Amino acid sequence: MKTTQFTENQIIAMLKQHEQGIKVQEIARTNGISEKTIYRWKGKYGGMDAQELKRI
């Protein structure tokens, strides 16, 4: 499985951008990832902060 090039803090920041109303399409394009990746992260990490994510 391919490892992520993003830190936990970067993932949380992208998910928070989406919560603030920025479109998934724009976040994906800006960061060079697919929309599917963001939705996968949202399902897996949504609602967590960086401290909770580090415990996983």
For every residue of 20-44, DSSP letters joined together read TT--HHHHHHHHT--HHHHHHHHHH
pLDDT in tens, 1-56: 566 689 888 998 999 999 999 999 999 999 999 999 999 999 988 777 656 666 65
For residue 18, is it within any domain?
Answer: yes
The pLDDT assigned to 21 comes to 95
The pLDDT assigned to 56 comes to 58
Please tell me the total count of domains within the chain: 1
Range(s) of the domain holding residue 17: 13-55
For residue 6, is it within any domain?
Answer: no
The pLDDT assigned to 36 comes to 97
For residue 5, is it within any domain?
Answer: no
Q: Which two tokens stand for residue 22?
A: 């920025």
For residue 19, is it within any domain?
Answer: yes
For residue 26, is it within any domain?
Answer: yes
For residue 8, is it within any domain?
Answer: no
For residue 43, is it within any domain?
Answer: yes
For residue 29, is it within any domain?
Answer: yes
The pLDDT assigned to 23 comes to 97
